[in-house]
Amino acid sequence: MAELNLAVIYYSSTGTNHQMAQWAEEAGKSVGANVRLRRVPETAPMEAIEQNPAWKEHYEKTQDVEEATTEDLDWADAIIFSAPTRFGVEASQFRAFIDTTGGLWGQGKLVNKVVSAMSSAQNSHGGQEATVLSIYKTMAHWGAIIVPPGYTDPVQFASGGNPYGVSATAGEEGIVEDIEEAVKHQAKRTVETAKWIKDGQGQ
């Protein structure tokens, strides 16, 4: 069986998407993938970060997580994205990273990447689905292979049942829903689909 590289690329201000990305990392490793967990570079000015204690704390706590680069996308066979919802779309920090991928795209290197996306919002219906679909629009432009979780496992129902990609509600005390298993299912399904495609190449 071919080696399989999974990049888990996330942006998080206050930890929700970082937690989701860590669950995806764990699941990817559990099915034998080589995994890179990568943090999208922060673009906000320090003055803005310092005004929000939760943001500042998370920013400082995750400085040792390697920053995502386009080389991580080139390396990956499969990619899990996780980004917070901001007014119905992904955070601008995440978009800024996506906007650096033009060079890879121009060389056709994003074609057939096997991708899946997750999001969080403050409200349970605060726009998570729209954010995931927004990420998938970009994936269509890449010519990527989008792997949504659908209802392929009972854990989907326990997590809130978003078939596009796991949705988290970021509450005061942390994530409201029980989504850990759904995140892991989504990550494993993405890796397994990528393996299936990679192993089938050239046949």
Does residue 93 interact with ligand FMN by CB under 6 A? Answer: no
Among 37, 17, 16, 15, residue whose Cα is nearest residue 26:
37
Closest CB to ligand FMN among residues 48, 111: 48
What is the closest distance, in whole angstroms, from the C-beta atom of residue 51 to ligand FMN in the complex? 11
Q: Point out the residue whose Cβ comes nearest to ligand FMN.
A: 126
Residues 28, 186: contact at Cβ < 8 Å?
A: no
Burial of 187 (0-12, 13-18, 19+ CB in 10 A): buried
Number of residues engaging ligand FMN in binding (CB under 6 A)? 18
List the interface residues with ligand FMN, window 7-36 (CB under 6 A).
12-17
Closest CB to ligand FMN among residues 85, 190: 85
Chain residues that interact with ligand FMN, rule: CB under 6 A? 12-17, 84-88, 120-123, 126-127, 170
